[in-house]
């Protein structure tokens, strides 16, 4: 089955290869029987696959098998996690075994040069491919070796003296051996570029070209390219090294380019890095579907990865390790193995882990910010939902990054589920379930009796014999959630709560927020300085604002319905308040004996941020500061105010900036306005 790349890529592909329309291939492939028995596999290969639990081929493996087996050049594109390694690995092994038998030998001669070369962009992927090729190659007596940077030259040169059949490696180390004269590629009959888009990208194209010059010409070898994405420039360079390639594209022109069994969730967060860091563990907790919550967090820089993994306050109840290019090869291998074994639950990595790594138990992928190209997002998201499992890919974005998010949706043909930061209730509920699951797994452990006496004494001394409360406290300690910490949904600052104001008229303004808080502050427990950031909503009747936790509790208490008797007494004492009190909706059962105190507005806890307008406000020492089209989260504009971090007035006043807003199809310049005005 041969299918085409997207329409804009067909012209060059038709000149060099065979193409059949994707629609026909896709419709035919949905109901095929791809069990192992239907393919001409040797008994040893089929037995090795069954031992690994594989009883049928995946789509990309099945549709490329005949062309790969017959020695034709192939370009293959498939979703991540669909078995591209075995798609080229199984026919590669079958061809080498057949060639050996036809030559009349069952075992290779010592010191033989390799017959097949597999190039990968990263060391981790090279090791993974080597393990899978050895699985199916060793029953036939095929020797597979792996060369990558950071490993000992001595061991690799010893392997060359012994001889082997298949070489898997990274371009840098392969070139090193070619320059040293220790590696001979003149006998290569099969060349595979795994993750071809990365291999042939800027920085790798020249290395690949030098390696191909050391091989036999393309007419005398089979050249295969596999990847989850094949941008146009890959085809252009591949044309230099392939002869009439057959293109197999199971992604198709109209389907999503990302894996189908992965949920794509976009979580809106504040711009500031500290806010993203503070919300990270809660996001992991809220979106993990299984108890182990194994997660990979992707960052753009090694410095950010180190900061996240090494800051104890970010992961309070989870263990995180870091993986990037500055980590030694030995430590990288140890970290990946421990992550696979479940020794820790969160891996913080740069894109070194985004290419081809096959870790089936990853539940959640979190990207700290939207990447600037679609291929990077697809490869990152492809680390979850592998081998038929479901997964969730979460991406954090701020209001200023909406454009990048929309570009990803268009480029990958996906639709993000919009979400806000998880609520405190949701996080605590998940933490309780995970702690309970951990305790339940230890119920049959022999060590439990040794703790029973201490448990009885604890329940009697601290919880008045209430074993249920004692167990709940133990679960809280296990989960690492021993105290309640509220955070602003607008800035991520701790000690603040975000409230939602809804008025019964349109045109709500920041002064309405200030005026309402003043009306509620007559008890003397509220002050206007308690108000932090204010954002107006797209709904003209709504606004969200930050207040301290104590002020939020007082505001919500004031908003509770009151009985008719209490309301009459309160109205008599406060004439200014009486004019706003009228017969409201009855609370609870609707008996009519209770009414809302303030029927012209409601204030409630903001569980998820509604869609906001561009303007950004903050109250500071009785003054209102307004910024249009600019966030106030930069640290350079912050100062300490009343013991809390607040934005001070006067920062960046009068600056002009180029807006990202587009009007009429053309970007417009817009002035950033900053001013203060006394609202008293």
The pLDDT tens digits of the residues spanning 540-582 come to 999 999 998 888 888 888 888 765 545 444 444 444 343 333 3
Position 562 scores a pLDDT of 63
- Which ranges of 313-466 would DSSP assign to H, the alpha helix? 329-340, 374-381, 402-412, 424-441, 449-462
Question: Highest-confidence range of 354-363, 432-441, 458-467, 521-530, by mean pLDDT?
Answer: 458-467
- Sign of the dihedral through C-alpha 8, 9, 12, 15: negative
**Which pLDDT score, from 0 to 100, does residue 217 have?**
92
| pLDDT surpassing 70 at residue 591 | no
Question: In the predicted model, is pLDDT for residue 47 greater than 50?
Answer: yes
- What's the pLDDT score for residue 527? 64
Asked if residues 386 and 360 have their Cβ atoms less than 8 Å apart, the reply is yes
pLDDT level of residue 653 (50, 70, 90 thresholds): very low
Beta bridge mates, 487? 494
Question: How many percent of the chain have pLDDT more than 90?
Answer: 29
Instruction: For residue 288, name the pLDDT band (cuts at 50, 70, 90).
Output: confident
Residue 619 has pLDDT above 70, yes or no: no
Please answer whether residues 329 and 172 qualify as being in contact, where contact means their C-beta atoms are separated by less than 8 angstroms: no
**What 3-state class would DSSP assign to 487?**
strand
Give ranges for CATH 3.30.70 in the chain. Answer: 496-559+598-675
pLDDT beyond 80 at 477 = yes
Overall pTM > 0.85: no
| CATH assignment of 496-559+598-675, among 2.60.120, 3.30.70, 2.40.160, 3.30.1330 | 3.30.70
Mean of pLDDT values over 128-142: 93
**Residue carrying the six token digits 């939902």:** 385
Inform me whether the pLDDT recorded for 170 exceeds 50: yes
Least confident of 329-343, 356-370, 466-480, 637-651: 637-651
Following DSSP, what letter does each residue of 184-238 receive, concatenated?
A: --TT--EEEEETHHHHTSTTTHHHHHHHHHTSPPGGGSEEEEEES---HHHHHHH
Question: What are the structure tokens assigned to 680, written together?
Answer: 């008293």
Neighbours of 310 (CB within 10 A): 11
Domain with CATH 3.40.50.300 in the chain: 7-103+112-249, 262-422
Residues contacting residue 166 through CB under 8 Å, at least 6 positions apart: 92, 96, 114, 115, 116, 117, 118, 133, 137, 142, 143, 144, 145
Listed residue (202, 205, 197, 238) closest to 374, CA to CA: 197
**Strands 295-298 and 562-563: what pairing?**
unpaired
Q: How many CB atoms lie within 10 A of CB 333?
A: 16
Report pLDDT for 570.
47
Mean pLDDT of 328-355: 84
Question: For residue range 185-216, what is the model confidence (pLDDT) as tens digits?
Answer: 999 999 999 887 777 665 677 888 899 999 99
What is the model's pLDDT at position 618?
67
| Section 351-374 average pLDDT | 81
Mean pLDDT of the chain: 77
**What does the pLDDT look like over 367-402, one tens digit per residue?**
999 998 888 898 888 888 876 678 899 999 988 898
CATH topology for 7-103+112-249 is Rossmann fold (3.40.50)
Instruction: Pick 342 or 176 by higher pLDDT.
Output: 176
Average pLDDT of the residues in 346-350: 91
Residue of 188, 183, 195, 91 lying closest to 137 (CA atoms) = 91
Give the integer Cα–Cα distance in Å for 273 and 300. 13
The topology under which CATH files domain 262-422 is Rossmann fold (3.40.50)
Indicate whether 12 pLDDT > 90: no
What pLDDT was estimated at residue 165? 94
């Amino acid at each position: 089955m041969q299918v085409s790349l997207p329409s804009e890529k067909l012209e060059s592909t038709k000149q060099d290869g065979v193409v059949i329309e994707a629609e026909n291939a896709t419709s035919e492939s949905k109901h095929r029987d791809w069990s192992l028995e239907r393919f001409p596999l040797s008994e040893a290969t089929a037995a090795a696959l069954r031992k690994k639990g594989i009883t049928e081929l995946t789509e990309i493996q099945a549709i490329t098998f005949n062309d790969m087996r017959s020695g034709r050049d192939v370009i293959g594109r498939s979703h991540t996690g669909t078995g591209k390694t075995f798609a080229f690995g199984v026919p590669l092994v079958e061809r080498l075994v057949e060639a050996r038998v036809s030559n009349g030998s069952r075992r290779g001669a010592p010191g033989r040069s390799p017959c097949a070369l597999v190039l990968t962009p990263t060391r981790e992927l090279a090791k993974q491919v080597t393990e899978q090729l050895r699985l199916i190659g060793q029953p036939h007596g095929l020797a597979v070796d792996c060369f990558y940077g950071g490993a000992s030259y001595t061991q690799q040169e010893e392997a060359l003296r012994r001889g082997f059949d298949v070489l898997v490696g990274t371009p840098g180390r392969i070139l090193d051996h070619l320059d040293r004269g220790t590696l001979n590629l003149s006998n290569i009959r099969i060349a595979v570029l795994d993750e071809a888009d990365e291999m042939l990208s800027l920085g790798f194209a020249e290395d690949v070209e030098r390696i191909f010059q050391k091989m036999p010409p393309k007419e005398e070898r089979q050249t295969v390219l596999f990847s989850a994405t094949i941008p146009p420039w890959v085809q252009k360079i591949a044309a230099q090294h392939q002869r009439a390639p057959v293109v197999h594209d199971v992604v198709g022109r109209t389907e999503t380019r990302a894996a189908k069994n992965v949920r794509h969730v976009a979580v809106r967060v504040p711009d500031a890095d500290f806010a993203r860091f503070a919300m990270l563990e809660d996001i992991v907790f809220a979106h993990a579907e299984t108890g182990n919550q194994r997660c990979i967090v992707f960052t753009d820089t090694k410095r950010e990865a180190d900061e996240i993994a090494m800051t104890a306050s970010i992961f309070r109840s989870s263990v995180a390790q870091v993986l990037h290019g500055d980590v030694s090869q030995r430590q990288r291998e140890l970290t990946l193995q421990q992550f696979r074994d479940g020794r820790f639950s969160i891996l913080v990595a740069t894109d070194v882990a985004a290419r081809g790594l096959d870790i089936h138990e990853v539940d959640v992928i979190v990207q700290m910010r939207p990447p600037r190209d679609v291929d990077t997002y697809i490869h990152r998201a492809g680390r979850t939902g592998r081998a038929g499992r479901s997964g969730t890919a979460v991406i954090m974005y701020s209001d200023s990054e909406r454009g990048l998010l929309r570009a990803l949706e268009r480029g990958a043909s996906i639709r993000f589920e919009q979400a806000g930061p998880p609520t405190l209730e949701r996080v605590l509920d998940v933490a309780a379930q995970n702690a309970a699951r951990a305790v339940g797994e230890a119920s049959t452990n022999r060590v439990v009796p040794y703790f029973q006496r201490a448990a009885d004494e604890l329940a009697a001394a601290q919880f008045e014999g209430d074993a249920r409360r004692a167990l709940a406290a133990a679960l809280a300690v296990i989960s690492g959630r021993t105290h309640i910490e509220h955070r602003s949904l607008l800035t991520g600052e701790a000690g603040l709560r975000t409230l939602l104001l809804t008025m019964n008229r349109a045109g709500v303004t920041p002064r309405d927020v200030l005026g309402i808080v003043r009306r509620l502050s007559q008890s003397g427990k509220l002050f206007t300085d308690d108000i932090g950031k204010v954002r107006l909503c797209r709904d003209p009747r709504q606004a969200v604002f930050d207040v301290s936790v104590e002020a939020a509790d007082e505001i919500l208490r004031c908003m509770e319905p009151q009985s008719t008797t209490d309301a009459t007494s309160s109205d008599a004492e406060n004439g200014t308040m009486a004019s706003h009190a009228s017969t409201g909706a009855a609370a609870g059962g609707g008996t009519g004996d209770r009414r809302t105190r303030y029927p012209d507005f409601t204030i409630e806890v903001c569980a998820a941020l509604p869609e906001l307008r561009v303007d950004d406000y903050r109250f500071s020492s009785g003054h209102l500061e307004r910024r249009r089209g600019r966030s106030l989260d930069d640290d350079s504009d912050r100062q300490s105010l009343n013991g809390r971090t607040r934005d001070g007035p006067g920062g960046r006043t009068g600056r002009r900036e180029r807006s990202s807003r587009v009007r009429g199809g053309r970007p417009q310049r817009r002035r950033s306005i900053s001013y203060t005005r006394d609202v008293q």
